[in-house]
Amino acid sequence: MDRRTPSPDRRLLFDTLSDYIEQIREEGMEGLPSETGARVASAESAESRPVPPPNPDEDTTTEPIAEVSAPQAPLRTVAMFARYPGLEKTSNLEELREFIGDCRRCKLYESRTQVVFGVGNPHAELMFVGEGPGAEEDARGEPFVGRAGQLLTDIIERGMGMKRSEVYIANVVKCRPPQNRNPEPDEVEACEPFLMRQIELVRPRVIVALGTFAAQALLRVKTPISKLRGAWQEIGGIRTMPTFHPAYLLRNPGDKRLVWLDIQEVMKELGRPIPRRGKA
């Protein structure tokens, strides 16, 4: 075949790619991810999508500080946002909430009461990311209001000396998994673009990833939280501290001291004073 004449297959591929690039431009994409970001994202999607272990909160450790470091994670990939045309254009949290609507993009809608979007200061310098709503959160429509939520509030208010309303709190999945089971990979994948957009809109200086799911989803690694906790990571240039989930701490109160170490790192990073009796 004459090499200068594209085959019908190549022509189709070329046209499809052109349409795709055109579409993401129309949605306001300002540029493609950096080569490094794209490489990291594709290597990770092949190897280390956040496939959750069966009992993510059961990881225990006696190590005070993690030694494993995840690669720099981009905040989002092109494909992630291409799934939801228009997401890009949401310019504040209200618009994003409206965009999500009465979401039926994954099977979690079948058993949830409502979408639990997020709460707090839309310009917070500190953002907490948990796993997904439990029963209490599903009923009230606000993240972290059950027992684990009370402990998180204590960490923020008594431990850090901040108000809960000063920070922003969100989850990886916005709908309660039935019987509080772990979110499944397709559910995490369906909801991930919304969390990434929330982060982009709040643009916190620091993120605290609570537990295995949040850490793995944000950093796009499969490393357990026991190995990740205590070591700074970056996601889209935002300093991110993985630590144990408050629900894990309710079952393993001895590990509160490790979370307190992580929280002190966060306070230092934010340039805030560490309260003297800063224990939740």
Footprint of ligand URA on this chain (CB under 6 A)?
Answer: 130-134, 137, 143-144, 146, 148-149, 171, 247
Nearer to ligand URA, 90 or 171 (CB): 171
Q: Which residues is 129 bridged to in the sheet?
A: 170, 209
- β-pair type (168-171, 233-235): unpaired
Write the single-letter amino acid at 23: Q
Residue 146 C-beta: closest distance to ligand URA, Å: 6
Residue 125 C-beta: closest distance to ligand URA, Å: 21
Residue 92 C-beta: closest distance to ligand URA, Å: 22
Q: Which two tokens stand for residue 30?
A: 């300002």
Residue 172 C-beta: closest distance to ligand URA, Å: 8
Nearer to ligand URA, 27 or 166 (CB): 166
Nearer to ligand URA, 71 or 146 (CB): 146
Indicate the helix (H) or strand (E) that contains 154: helix 147-154
Nearer to ligand URA, 95 or 136 (CB): 136
Q: How many other C-beta atoms are found inside a 10 Å radius of the C-beta of residue 175? A: 28
What Å distances lie between residue 6 and 1, 2, 11, 20, 164, CA to CA?
9, 8, 6, 19, 60
Q: Which residues is 240 bridged to in the sheet?
A: 207, 233
Residue 171 C-beta: closest distance to ligand URA, Å: 5
Residue 82 C-beta: closest distance to ligand URA, Å: 27
Q: In this structure, are residues 96 and 198 in contact, taking their beta carbons and an 8 Å threshold?
A: yes
Token pair 């995840």 is found at 70
Nearer to ligand URA, 148 or 188 (CB): 148
Q: In this structure, are residues 116 and 158 in contact, taking their beta carbons and an 8 Å threshold?
A: no
Q: Which two tokens stand for residue 175?
A: 């709908």
User: Minimal CA–CA distance to 228: which of 44, 24, 59?
Assistant: 59
Nearer to ligand URA, 70 or 170 (CB): 170
Residue 198 C-beta: closest distance to ligand URA, Å: 14
Contacts of 160 (CB under 8 A, 6+ apart): 263, 266, 267, 272, 275, 278
Nearer to ligand URA, 77 or 240 (CB): 240
Chain residue whose CB lies nearest ligand URA:
130
